[in-house]
Homo-oligomer: A and B are copies of this chain.
Amino acid sequence: MCTHTEKIQSHTHHGCVCEVKIRVRYAETDQMGVVYHANHFVWFEVGRVELLRQLGFSYREMEQDDGCSIAVVDARCRYKAPARYDDEIIVRTRLKNVRESLVHFEYELLRFSDGILLAEGESTHVILDQQLKRRTIPEKYMKAFREAVVRDTQG
């Protein structure tokens, strides 16, 4: 079986790291012959969603059942090497911090074939209710999020 995207669980004592593999689509390239830089933020989103799933949550259900949206307030990417068409990319996602209504993720994009780091990023999100007003994270998520936070100091 040849996978386009696959998820590899990787729990540690120090929190939870999620790895998901995607394959670069032709649509994601630009005329420089590499992946257009805005697509890295789409891949980060794929990583976040899979990290939530790894914690036992579906972001779809968070929205539908709990009326929680996770809105981006800050996103950044540092580009180290170009991702290319048909490359398999590992999106490695960590929950860096969580409090009240804020969640902070970190990302690494690695080329699967040789492990080269292609990009690093981070994003901060605020939890919103259905009226798009800020709200605290429901307790069932908060508990799991706190445990999932990767603590560098324990590293």
Contacts and interface: CB of A to CB of B under 8 A. Distances in A.
Copies per complex of this chain: 4
B78 A74 contact: yes
A66 to B, nearest CB: 14
Nearest to A91: B4
A112 interface: no
Contacts of A86: 49, 58-60
Interface stretch (A35-43, A97-105, A145-153): A35-43
Given A26-B49, A45-B25, A60-B86, A71 B32 contact: yes
Contacts of A71: 32, 79, 82
A25 B41 CA distance: 12
Contacts of A41: 37-38, 41
A29 B32 CA distance: 9
A109 to B, nearest CB: 14
A112 to B, nearest CB: 14
Interface string A1-39: 111111111000000000011110111011111101111
Contacts of A45: 25-27, 38
